[in-house]
Structure 1
Amino acid sequence: MNILQQSSKAQDRTLGTWYVQVQSGTLKLPRFQRFEAWDRARVTGFLNTIIQNLPVGVTLLLQVGDKEQFISRYITSAPETGNRVTEHLLDGQQRLTAFWRSVHNNYEGETYFIYLPEFDAHPTDGIEYDEVTVHCQPRWAKKKEPGLRYPVWADSPARCLERGLVPVNLLCPGDHGVQLEKWIADATSELEPSDDAPDAVKLLRALEKRRQELRATLAMLRERVTHFNLPFLSLPATTSADVALQVFVNMNTNSKPLSMYDLTVAKVESEAGASLHAMQEATEAAYIELTHYGDVSWTLLTSAALMQGKMPNRGGVGAMGMATMVTAWPRVERALVRAAHFMARQHIYDEERLPSAPVVAVIAACFDKVPEHGDELGRAEQLLRAYMWSCFFTTRYEGAAATRAYQDYKALVELLERPHFGPADYAHVPVLRRVDYPLPTPEQLTRVGWPKGADRLARAVLAANLHFGALDFADGHPVSYESLRHREYHHIFPDALLQEVGINSYLALNCALVTWKTNRSIGRKDPLAYLRDRVEWADEDTVRQRLRTHLLDYDTLSQATYEADGEPLRGDALAARLRTDFDRFLESRAALVALAARYLAEGRVLTLEQLLREAKNAGGEPHEAALELDC
């Protein structure tokens, strides 16, 4: 029988049989399979399909002969028996994992129940369906109470049954009669009448009838689960690894399609006999800083693609030589680590504040061409600073990002491979051509929105404000990955104050990242009064110094007061003064940010003192009072 004949006819297999094979460890997953991907809704939907005895799609198996063709792993939470493997599950992992875990109810964040409407005596709990169905109950724990999960009632048989809920694990195939009887007894024990109750016999008979009804219902559902048909197609053990992988890719019927990463995992397994999952896990364990910048898997693949001269997109990743990538993995890893350290030195610490994601792979691939010491390193880092900040402050990657990143990368490498180059050569890189990609003007910066979202320019403004150390207003600690975990987005001119006269407060220039007090009661206040109430206030000179590291001027803010004769200004008087002050504040800070963007996009290493001096020499007024303080 050839492969076509063998695989074209689906064969029946009950969940009871699938259960035994997972339990015994004779059915395993080839390691290139992705990990669990189903959310609660998909698990619930699949369980409902079983309970309602509806048909499902087929699974795909590869028979295993004397030797496994792929290194394998057990289904999540299944016992690691060490028994001989007879089948590899190529497609159907999500369904069988959902089934196995739910009939053991071993999910940390949820517990699955069967809702039986005839047993629901708790009409106010919000759990109500029209028919027998699967109910997913979210669970959570509190730090002060380890080992206890909420809601607590979900672990009490009596409290569950009064809501019409029976845990799905009672439907587990096999001989679980003792467990089932114990649950029924625990769930109904509170209903047993006392011996001296006047109608004890009648009540006891009613209770026993109730128990029998529950047993019968559960017996019927257990039979339905055990004998539910999950059909499969089977490839014979003589199928080559390449063919099995191709069938896996073409046959995968999961409602969540295979990602490029999933496909690459399979190709690496096929072409290089290596596990991309294991390689990535080892990299992340050794270099935790790489996880700070988003999806490590995609960054690794796009960096590797660029290093092989391929586009940093699906097509380029798919066209890579996988064996070459495995051999070059230490280089890819080292290049990414260097890129992460480079960005951290620019005070770009995490994905949440990264203005443009494509730069990470480009910078990493460039570092693969750069020595780790000497003048060449200095020239390369200046070029890469200019590249990175130009990407942040221009529209270069707002369309066709992968294509443009590839073009920039090739141009950057051409410069890096020259024996000598300097700023006069930077226009060779498309993003560094100011005629094509101009930097924003101060006036444009005054209109940029709040940086908490994904807007590139808003995040770029914030990045420039963090670049000069951004000492925390409260504790004086400089910005770092760790300190950012505790900082929040703070309005300089309070939102409540600006709203009173209809001014938009959610602007990047009106934002700073600082640590707040737990007390969030603010109200309408002047900027410095608002700041004083939001943070642990230090002395004036200290706060003045901390503000300037955010490109903020203490004197400008101290003059922004809105009272007359001890009473707060209102109406037109408030609007006139506040609009003038706020516009002056935005223009002053925008001028500094624009100047910083200009120098950063030239690759210059700029101190705060130099920036303020340059602003003064340019004839502007921003922060002249701050110049009197020594950095």
Structure 2
Amino acid sequence: MFDSTKTSLHDLLTQAARGHIKLPDFQRGWVWDDYAIRSLIASVSQSFPVGAIMMLRAGGELTFGTRQLEGTPKTAKDTETLLYLLDGQQRLTSLYQALVSDDVIATKNVQKQEIKRWYYIDMAVALAGGDREDAIIGVPEDRISRSAFGRDILRDLSCDEKEYAACMFPLNKVFNADQWMMGFFRHWGHAPDKSEFWFAFANTVLAAFNGYHMPVITLDATSSRGAICTVFEKVNSGGKKLDSFELLTAIYAGSGFNLRSDWLGGRDTDRATGAEVITEGRLARLGDFDVLSDLGNTNFLQAISLLHTRSRRLSDLRSGKSETDAASVSCQGRAILALPLDAYRTWADRVETGFKLAARFLRRRHIYWVKDVPYHTQLVPLAAILALLGERWEQDAVQRKLAQWFWCGVFGEFYGSAVESRFAKDVIEVPAWIEGGPEPSAVRDFQCRIDRLESLRSRLSAAYKGVHALLMQQGARDFRSGQAFEEAIYFDDNVDIHHIFPKAWCQTKRIPKSLYDSIVNKTPISARTNRILGGSAPSAYCHRLETSEAVAREPLETHLRSHGITPTLLRSDDFDRFFEDRRENLAVMIERVTGKEVYRGVERDEEALDEAAE
């Protein structure tokens, strides 16, 4: 699969200059700063190891879009690629620009400010045997270092004679030092001590550069996509993590398709007019929906992979293949990496529409904000299913089944881990169920215990967010205004989930935190109403709503009941009876939307029992 050897630094940089070594398009840009460059040069000048580089031989099944190493000649762009540089870009690019290029290096200082530098080695300091990094000097583009806001000149290397006089050797001459050496001798009148000084420098420092070899691991051209992705992630721990999207971007670029531009948008050329046009990417279009603002490019590819592999499996089954022999439905990394460009083009628009429909589906469940989405992972199979259904998703019978599947996933807490196998089942089973088949496993296997409601305290919990949305969907109204929590009201009135029995009151009554912070004691309330409730007993804030806010008793009790709250229990300030009653009411709400029974075998939360005993 690979071979490992050592290759001279000079040969590697020569191959890069000729364009035989190029970067696959998933590689990030060159980003090393001035300090990193000087430190690297110092290590090489002392023959210290700087790590192996990894390359892939070209000519296999994978044809990447490529780009030349930054700073190499423009002619390198059109030269045949023999090797793809997978790991080592930062080091090779830095060494090429510092040791070979005739152009000034554009980099950054430690303050991340953009600077331009030429690199030199102070010959005397290098031979003195101190810290070699002290001998590596960077100077500005005009080769003059200044201080005192540019008034005082510290070092002037603006011509060859000044370099000779200062004994400052330009590092981009290390592989071709003869001409500079002759100029150095002439400048010093061939003085014996300077000749001796030069040869001491050449035989130690320059010899280190010319004799430097780097370990090179070269993957065979037959290496698979998955193997390359895995290897890259293992060896590139200090750089950008390679994901399926980046690798597919490079693969598709080999066929002339820019996946990154398709996703992010960018500049393109109109084929008819030749004019430059700015295209909007799918991410921007999907970003119009707040609930999709955390959607990643890998999620998008997962949905496409699900639909592509589903189509292949159904085709195999129709052709007579057995369940075992038919293609598997998958959206795991290897399946995504095997996604043909034709499949991407076939499904991308439909999947984009599927995610937009998913946003509309969530809005109907009163989920308006990205942080309120119970499971972002569940959006992948939802979008894939909606892409298949198209306009049929609006049909009442379809809506009811989709909603049941969705809520079973939320309250069954199915999408927290090992989700790819669940996705694969969903895209096969849910459409079949809609067509009259058996219940999908996400519905059939649903389980929820009533005591789970007691332990839901974190906003990070999918079921916690599910209860919040379900209350609004079921018609909860603000205690004060009586308004339903439609989208405009939700944002305009700053609706959030708040305590029913206020936290301050619960603390004075020594009610365990694990109980008063439970979702059972929380409900959606507008910011203004929550300020009115304050830290008072429920009986007190109900009275305040009726007097100061002129909310009549009967409408107020209607508003309370819309939250699953029994008014008499709230007004009596009886937390224990309220808690048991509302927990039951929430369980009934969950049963209503999942179509399944909530198990009521009571196992009180251990943390709550411990706190109550204290």
**Residue 419 (structure 2) aligns with:** 401
Counterpart contact for 2:520–2:583, Cα < 8 Å: yes
Match of 2:245 among 240, 256, 261: 261
AA aligned opposite 2:462 = R
1:174 & 1:208 partners in 2: Cα distance? 12
2:10 & 2:290 partners in 1: Cα distance? 42
1:583 & 1:303 partners in 2: Cα distance? 46
Match of 1:465 among 460, 471, 480: 471
1:530 & 1:43 partners in 2: Cα distance? 61
* Cα pair distance change 1:602/1:174, threshold 3 Å: same
Post-superposition Cα deviations, 1:272-306, rounded to whole Å, max 9, x if no partner, equal 54333222221112221467343422221221122
**Residue 157 (structure 1) aligns with:** none
**Residue 593 (structure 1) aligns with:** 586
**Residue 446 (structure 2) aligns with:** 437
Match of 2:51 among 47, 57, 62: 57
1:521 & 1:52 partners in 2: Cα distance? 67
Match of 2:521 among 491, 510, 518: 510
The secondary structure found in structure 2 opposite 1:540 is: coil
TM-superposed CA distance for 1:8, in Å, is 4.5
TM-superposed CA distance for 1:391, in Å, is 0.7
1:414 aligns with 2:424: no
Counterpart contact for 1:471–1:549, Cα < 8 Å: no
2:367 & 2:213 partners in 1: Cα distance? 50
**Residue 299 (structure 1) aligns with:** 299
Post-superposition Cα deviations, 1:38-66, rounded to whole Å, max 9, x if no partner, equal 9xxx989967963873633344578999x
Counterpart contact for 1:472–1:514, Cα < 8 Å: yes
Post-superposition Cα deviations, 1:285-341, rounded to whole Å, max 9, x if no partner, equal 222146734342222122112212222333443454443223322122222222222
2:420 & 2:258 partners in 1: Cα distance? 26
TM-superposed CA distance for 1:490, in Å, is 3.0
Match of 2:506 among 494, 498, 517: 498
The secondary structure found in structure 2 opposite 1:438 is: coil
1:314 & 1:304 partners in 2: Cα distance? 12
Q: Structure 2: where are the runs of 5+ without partners?
A: 98-104, 116-129, 156-165, 175-208, 265-280, 311-328, 597-614
What RMSD, in angstroms, separates the aligned Cα atoms of the two structures? 5.9
* Cα pair distance change 1:90/1:405, threshold 3 Å: closer
TM-score (norm 2): 0.58
Match of 1:428 among 426, 439, 452: 439
* Cα pair distance change 1:173/1:507, threshold 3 Å: farther
**Residue 559 (structure 1) aligns with:** 571
Counterpart contact for 1:464–1:593, Cα < 8 Å: no
Counterpart contact for 2:64–2:251, Cα < 8 Å: no
Matches within 5 A, 1:202-601: 249=229, 252=232, 253-255=235-237, 257-269=241-253, 273-281=256-264, 282-289=281-288, 292-293=291-292, 294-308=294-308, 309=310, 310-373=329-392, 377-397=395-415, 400-416=418-434, 418=435, 421=436, 428-433=439-444, 436-441=445-450, 443-445=451-453, 447-453=454-460, 455-468=461-474, 478=485, 480=487, 483=491, 489-500=497-508, 501-504=510-513, 505-513=516-524, 516=527, 525-527=536-538, 539-540=550-551, 544=556, 548=560, 551=563, 553=565, 555=567, 559=571, 581-601=574-594
TM-superposed CA distance for 1:405, in Å, is 3.2
1:530 & 1:230 partners in 2: Cα distance? 79
1:296 & 1:11 partners in 2: Cα distance? 41
Post-superposition Cα deviations, 1:565-606, rounded to whole Å, max 9, x if no partner, equal xxxxxxxxxxxx6xxx22233334333322222222249xxx
TM-score (norm 1): 0.56
2:542 & 2:443 partners in 1: Cα distance? 39
AA aligned opposite 1:384 = L
The secondary structure found in structure 2 opposite 1:10 is: strand
AA aligned opposite 1:428 = E
1:473 & 1:81 partners in 2: Cα distance? 71
**Residue 121 (structure 1) aligns with:** none
Post-superposition Cα deviations, 1:90-143, rounded to whole Å, max 9, x if no partner, equal 43456689999x974389x96699xxxxxxxxxxxxxxxxx9999xxxxxxxxx
The secondary structure found in structure 2 opposite 1:458 is: helix
AA aligned opposite 1:287 = L
**Residue 184 (structure 2) aligns with:** none
1:11 aligns with 2:8: yes
1:133 & 1:384 partners in 2: Cα distance? 67
Matches within 5 A, 1:30-41: 30-31=24-25, 33-35=26-28
Give the count of matched residue pairs: 467
* Cα pair distance change 1:34/1:4, threshold 3 Å: closer
**Residue 125 (structure 1) aligns with:** none
1:364 & 1:50 partners in 2: Cα distance? 48
Q: Which moved more, 1:479-488 or 1:277-286?
A: 479-488
Matches within 5 A, 1:83-94: 85=77, 90-93=86-89
TM-superposed CA distance for 1:386, in Å, is 0.9
Match of 2:108 among 105, 110, 122: 105
AA aligned opposite 2:243 = S
TM-superposed CA distance for 1:371, in Å, is 4.0
AA aligned opposite 2:364 = R
TM-superposed CA distance for 1:254, in Å, is 0.6
1:372 & 1:487 partners in 2: Cα distance? 32
Counterpart contact for 2:414–2:442, Cα < 8 Å: yes
- Higher alpha-carbon Rg: 2
* Cα pair distance change 1:386/1:97, threshold 3 Å: farther
**Residue 204 (structure 1) aligns with:** none
* Cα pair distance change 1:472/1:274, threshold 3 Å: farther
AA aligned opposite 1:275 = N
**Residue 128 (structure 1) aligns with:** none
1:34 & 1:520 partners in 2: Cα distance? 52
TM-superposed CA distance for 1:9, in Å, is 3.9
* Cα pair distance change 1:551/1:251, threshold 3 Å: closer
Counterpart contact for 2:22–2:85, Cα < 8 Å: yes
TM-superposed CA distance for 1:177, in Å, is 3.6
Counterpart contact for 1:336–1:364, Cα < 8 Å: yes
Counterpart contact for 1:43–1:98, Cα < 8 Å: no
Matches within 5 A, 1:184-199: 184-186=147-149
TM-superposed CA distance for 1:385, in Å, is 0.8
Q: Which moved more, 1:399-408 or 1:219-228?
A: 219-228
The secondary structure found in structure 2 opposite 1:55 is: coil
Q: Structure 1: where are the runs of 5+ without partners?
A: 114-130, 135-165, 190-206, 210-218, 561-576, 604-631
1:291 & 1:37 partners in 2: Cα distance? 34
Counterpart contact for 1:338–1:367, Cα < 8 Å: yes
1:450 & 1:557 partners in 2: Cα distance? 22
* Cα pair distance change 1:47/1:389, threshold 3 Å: farther
